[in-house]
Amino acid sequence: MKNIISLFFLLFLSLSSFGQFAIDVQGKGLANSTWLVNKNISDQGVSQDYAPAWGSSYGVAGNIYFGMTGVGLEFLYTTHNAAYTGIYSLNDVPTGNYTSNIKLQTIQIPLLLKFQSDKGAYIEIGPQLTNISSAQFDRSGELIGIGFDESKDVSDEYASSYISGVLGFGSKIAFGDLPLGLLLGIRLQYSFEDLMGVDGEGLSLGSNENPGFWYPAHEPTQAISGGLVVGLTYTIK
């Protein structure tokens, strides 16, 4: 991450030598479709399957533009959820089912290279550091007609932080001649590092150095999300 920041700093210095200078200060929120994907879970069939999950982010951002090119830094408080469903069976006879959810509370710090048009359309791309502050696992269902509920803290099973790639695009819609504008966009995120964690039944997925008991052939866990960005932007020229 330090090397990436150094690269962006050098880019910032080179951009400052030309172009019209402007600063954007933004408050923004994101509504995302969120997933935690692991090949060991994908191979379980109906006993463990992915289900749609939703998360959100909110925070502040600052962008510096020189002409149509700029650099942005954000601080976002984020909830990244993952959901699963499964069917219990014995000799191919169903004996029960369950649904489960994993809730990650994180702080995300994206550092983005940005390109914008004269009319406010933009594209952004760059790395994002995510720090995981907590991870909660919840499951409910029934087995042989008996209902059950389970909840536990699984923070120790997850990596403390990871790096993602971010790609986004959208538009800043100005309020007439005012420096204020409405921010609308779409952002996609994909993690490049292993989050580790637990599966849909709360069993440890382990790590390369210490594989889980139920998953001795370790596979990495990736965080994936995509959704809508909405916010307000104030431009200083």
The model's pLDDT over 43-71, given as tens digits with 9 standing for 90+, comes to 998 899 999 999 999 999 999 998 888 99
Residue bearing tokens 């951002």: 61
Alpha-carbon gap, residue 104 to 46, rounded angstroms: 24
Percent share of the chain, pLDDT over 90? 77
Residue bearing tokens 């819609």: 173
Where b means 16+ CB within 10 Å and e means fewer, 161-184 reads: ebebebebebbbeeeeeeeebebe
| Residue 30, number of CB atoms within 10 A of its CB | 24
Per-residue CA distances from 190 to 112, 130, 235 (Å): 14, 11, 29
* Contact between residue 231 and residue 18 where contact means Cβ atoms under 8 Å apart: no
Predicted confidence at residue 104, as pLDDT, reads 98
Domains along the chain with CATH numbers: 2-9+25-236 (2.40.160)
* Contact between residue 185 and residue 169 where contact means Cβ atoms under 8 Å apart: yes
Residue bearing tokens 């991450």: 1
Predicted confidence at residue 31, as pLDDT, reads 97
pTM passes above 0.85: yes
Alpha-carbon gap, residue 232 to 224, rounded angstroms: 25
Predicted confidence at residue 1, as pLDDT, reads 57
Tell me the backbone φ, ψ of residue 77, rounded to 5 degrees.
-90, 125
Predicted confidence at residue 34, as pLDDT, reads 98
Predicted confidence at residue 93, as pLDDT, reads 86
Predicted confidence at residue 119, as pLDDT, reads 87
Predicted confidence at residue 3, as pLDDT, reads 59
From 24, 22, 8, 14, select the one nearest 185 (Cα to Cα).
24
Weakly modelled stretches of the chain, pLDDT under 50 = none
Predicted confidence at residue 67, as pLDDT, reads 84
Per-residue CA distances from 217 to 10, 35, 41, 95, 189 (Å): 42, 21, 12, 28, 26
Burial class (CB in 10 A: 0-12, 13-18, 19+), 136: middle
